[in-house]
Chain A
């Protein structure tokens, strides 16, 4: 029986959404008309109060949140299901990938991972001239941005210095597109200084790529590999993450009597509830959705034992400041040694709680801790373990304050360092900062250079000019601009203070 449902009508008639964006929003409405996987009362209450959060994913998880196929399989074997022969040339290989991407689901219905592109394409590059390679990559890049316009879509390159990686960096800096997002895996023992320098120089032009500390990730994921996707999630290759759920540390802190109560009672309790939420969702995905019967699994692109559960946390800054207030301490998170130490203690406790809990249908039987980047609706809560917008110290102090957290967050830490435009003629300074961050234990290095049109919001890229246009109600071609527009209006993301870089001699400060 048809009935008038105003919020659905609103989606259908929204002039700022494309047909595809409308279709996606409508499908979510349909999914959410089903009842949620069964939750006990306590978990249900905590979810409703958003002390714990399911990232507003649908009520019936029918696909993992992040899927990282081994595209090497289709390049090596072709695909029976997709009726694809084994590619022989570079054109055929790229074409095969372009087809493959359309069959890889994720939370956004677009692929979040498009592969370790240099490893995938290098075997097809013998006899291909530099000019041809450049042209092919350029067309490929244009295709990706126009057909899969989602800044969560992520390509990986490195750690070796090779033709494909260099060509991708060159094209990426030239086109300055939002999609795909790009990570360079850096290993001081393998990567050349020149390619790191090239990556740093790209950062000063388009705030991409983001650089991953390969030796640290390699130690976690081992031989079968990993990929970096979305907002700096490090996940097993041939698998991914079934779910991302998260605890709002600030809300838990608010409920706590004092630091002691937070650490020994409240936080363990809400961690437990978040686990129950995660289990319910994973259980539905594995036992009811039928996802793992797909050809992606039967043809070996994916292995169902390689899906982790991302255990996210956010609002560490507000949690620490709240707890500091409760004990009458004035030091603020990110700036004060005592406040920072409390933060490290919370991270260590979370690590202990998460690594002790066995989980079914999860890679290695344990969830992975994640410092989560945030959602557009997170007003008043700082992403992950970040220092609140506009209050960050200089980039080196910033890195030193956050580095001790990184060891605990195996599935990634979303962090952005904002750099002043004066860095543009001096990309070596980016390299220095990156190397220093890695020496101190940073898993990921991401920088935004002030004045760039292309900037990172929480973890994905948007164009400032697109946001301005969207606010003028004109709609946008890319999915993340809608998210970014919401985020920039509701939270203070675009006020992230560009760092004052050696503004000569502002007397007396910072001594």
Chain B
């Protein structure tokens, strides 16, 4: 059995918004985008053990041992002061789990879930772990019925995707913008690879859901929504689209001062999409 490990910032054993049914969700630490609209910026960086956050912890849950940050969950009060203190958007509470640990967790919860979703951060930055985990799940008769999903920003290259798709049941992929400049401004990266990934995953029958974040005056424009429509139509066969609405909750920096996305506009976009597009259009569950 694989002893590969992953850096995981959080595990949920109950989630109904990360794919079909109830799912165990692993939030893998680290991201290769740097979205200014990120609701969870502390998932982006990887800790460099600088120790800057230690002084801000009110309960001494953080210490430096042999040059490495050490986190004691028993002392933590979940105040998140360390996340604010970290200069590089990292998280000292991240823990290391092996494939074996996650299989054991799945064994305990298998009666309650439809499957697992690896999310992030950007989960595919720890692709060997995902591949090992999904492969072991498929081999274990007690877990083989569970579906295996990846939630991604789509930046992974095509060759890397092919190494994991065989053991993956579905992918949820975020498109942040269609206009290349807008995409670069919002994420720090070009969107060509994202769109390629979406096409490739759809052709492979693995694209469970396309996600599109509507940000006022940036990605809610008529042009962007038309591009989204055109893109879904360019894919052969129906595609499920989820529209997300920008909110400032958790956002840091410049975007924290941006207005939240209005419900009416998201609904109008959904109506337009539903008329033209080939699959279901999903709206936010809460406003």
Residues of A at the B interface (CB closer than 8 Å) are 394-397, 399, 419-426, 428-429, 431-433, 435-437, 439-440, 499, 501-502, 504-511
Is B14 a contact partner of A499 (Cβ separation < 8 A)?
yes
Is A396 a contact partner of B17 (Cβ separation < 8 A)?
no
Contacts of A433 in B (CB 8 A): 14, 22, 112
Is A501 a contact partner of B73 (Cβ separation < 8 A)?
no
Residue of A nearest to B242 (CB): A425
A426 to B285 Cα, complex, angstroms:
10
Is B13 a contact partner of A394 (Cβ separation < 8 A)?
yes
Is B95 a contact partner of A511 (Cβ separation < 8 A)?
yes
What are the nearest 10 A-B pairs in CB distance? A436-B112, A502-B15, A429-B16, A439-B111, A428-B21, A432-B22, A505-B40, A429-B22, A436-B111, A422-B285
| B232 at the binding interface (Cβ < 8 Å) | no
A504 to B250 Cα, complex, angstroms:
10
Is A421 a contact partner of B76 (Cβ separation < 8 A)?
no
Residue of B nearest to A397 (CB): B13
Residues A396 and B112 in contact in the complex (CB < 8 Å), given A501-B16, A507-B93:
yes
Q: List 26 A-B contacts (CB under 8 A).
A: A394-B12, A396-B13, A397-B13, A419-B16, A422-B16, A422-B17, A422-B286, A423-B285, A425-B282, A425-B285, A426-B21, A429-B21, A429-B22, A429-B114, A432-B21, A432-B114, A436-B112, A439-B111, A501-B14, A501-B15, A502-B14, A505-B40, A507-B40, A508-B76, A508-B83, A511-B10
A421 to B93 Cα, complex, angstroms:
29
A421 to B286 Cα, complex, angstroms:
7
User: What is the distance, in angstroms, from A196's C-beta to the closest C-beta of chain B?
Assistant: 13
User: What is the distance, in angstroms, from B60's C-beta to the closest C-beta of chain A?
Assistant: 15
A396 to B15 Cα, complex, angstroms:
10
A504 to B285 Cα, complex, angstroms:
13
A440 to B109 Cα, complex, angstroms:
10
| B139 at the binding interface (Cβ < 8 Å) | no
User: What is the distance, in angstroms, from A346's C-beta to the closest C-beta of chain B?
Assistant: 25
Interface size grouping (class) on chain B:
35 or more
Contacts of B123 in A (CB 8 A): none
Which residue of A399, A423, A428, A499 contacts B114 across the interface (Cβ within 8 Å)? A428
Residues A507 and B80 in contact in the complex (CB < 8 Å), given A396-B109, A396-B112, A502-B16:
yes
| CB-contacts of B83-118 with A (<8 A) | 83, 91, 93, 95, 109, 111-114
Is A426 a contact partner of B111 (Cβ separation < 8 A)?
no
Residue of B nearest to A440 (CB): B111
Is B14 a contact partner of A396 (Cβ separation < 8 A)?
yes
Contacts of A432 in B (CB 8 A): 21-22, 112-114
Residues A426 and B17 in contact in the complex (CB < 8 Å), given A502-B25, A509-B78, A511-B95:
yes
| B43 at the binding interface (Cβ < 8 Å) | yes
Is A421 a contact partner of B112 (Cβ separation < 8 A)?
no
A504 to B83 Cα, complex, angstroms:
16
Is B10 a contact partner of A426 (Cβ separation < 8 A)?
no
Contacts of A423 in B (CB 8 A): 16, 285
| B42 at the binding interface (Cβ < 8 Å) | yes
Is B27 a contact partner of A505 (Cβ separation < 8 A)?
yes
| CB-contacts of B1-53 with A (<8 A) | 9-18, 20-22, 25, 27, 39-40, 42-43
User: What is the distance, in angstroms, from B55's C-beta to the closest C-beta of chain A?
Assistant: 17
Contacts of B113 in A (CB 8 A): 432, 436
Most A-side CB within 10 Å, residue of B14, B76, B113, B250: B14
A433 to B15 Cα, complex, angstroms:
11
A505 to B12 Cα, complex, angstroms:
9
Residue of A nearest to B21 (CB): A428
A433 to B40 Cα, complex, angstroms:
27
Most B-side CB within 10 Å, residue of A397, A425, A507: A507
User: What is the distance, in angstroms, from B111's C-beta to the closest C-beta of chain A?
Assistant: 4
User: What is the distance, in angstroms, from A331's C-beta to the closest C-beta of chain B?
Assistant: 13
A429-B114, A511-B95 given. 12 additional CB < 8 A pairs?
A396-B112, A399-B112, A424-B285, A426-B16, A426-B17, A426-B20, A429-B22, A432-B112, A502-B17, A507-B78, A507-B91, A509-B10
Contacts of A439 in B (CB 8 A): 111
User: What is the distance, in angstroms, from B211's C-beta to the closest C-beta of chain A?
Assistant: 13
Is A502 a contact partner of B80 (Cβ separation < 8 A)?
no
User: What is the distance, in angstroms, from A52's C-beta to the closest C-beta of chain B?
Assistant: 37
A73 to B86 Cα, complex, angstroms:
73
A320 to B14 Cα, complex, angstroms:
26
A501 to B25 Cα, complex, angstroms:
11
Digitize B216-254: 1 where CB-to-A-CB distance is under 8 Å, 0 elsewhere.
000000000000000000000000000000000010000
A420 to B15 Cα, complex, angstroms:
10
Residues A507 and B10 in contact in the complex (CB < 8 Å), given A426-B16, A433-B22:
yes
Residue of B nearest to A395 (CB): B14
Contacts of A499 in B (CB 8 A): 14
User: What is the distance, in angstroms, from B80's C-beta to the closest C-beta of chain A?
Assistant: 6
Which residue of B16, B20, B42, B112 contacts A507 across the interface (Cβ within 8 Å)? B42
User: What is the distance, in angstroms, from A347's C-beta to the closest C-beta of chain B?
Assistant: 22
Contacts of B114 in A (CB 8 A): 428-429, 432
User: What is the distance, in angstroms, from B138's C-beta to the closest C-beta of chain A?
Assistant: 20
| CB-contacts of B137-175 with A (<8 A) | none
Residues A508 and B93 in contact in the complex (CB < 8 Å), given A422-B285, A426-B16, A502-B15:
yes
User: What is the distance, in angstroms, from A476's C-beta to the closest C-beta of chain B?
Assistant: 29
A437 to B9 Cα, complex, angstroms:
27
User: What is the distance, in angstroms, from A177's C-beta to the closest C-beta of chain B?
Assistant: 25
User: What is the distance, in angstroms, from A422's C-beta to the closest C-beta of chain B?
Assistant: 4
A272 to B120 Cα, complex, angstroms:
57
User: What is the distance, in angstroms, from A194's C-beta to the closest C-beta of chain B?
Assistant: 15
A372 to B114 Cα, complex, angstroms:
32
A17 to B76 Cα, complex, angstroms:
53
Contacts of B76 in A (CB 8 A): 508
Residue of A nearest to B117 (CB): A502
Contacts of B95 in A (CB 8 A): 511
Contacts of A435 in B (CB 8 A): 111-112
Contacts of A502 in B (CB 8 A): 12, 14-18, 25
Which residue of B43, B78, B285 contacts A505 across the interface (Cβ within 8 Å)? B43
User: What is the distance, in angstroms, from A198's C-beta to the closest C-beta of chain B?
Assistant: 16
A396 to B78 Cα, complex, angstroms:
21
Residue of B nearest to A499 (CB): B14
Contacts of A425 in B (CB 8 A): 282, 285
A131 to B179 Cα, complex, angstroms:
52
A436 to B15 Cα, complex, angstroms:
14
Contacts of B285 in A (CB 8 A): 421-425
A428 to B113 Cα, complex, angstroms:
9
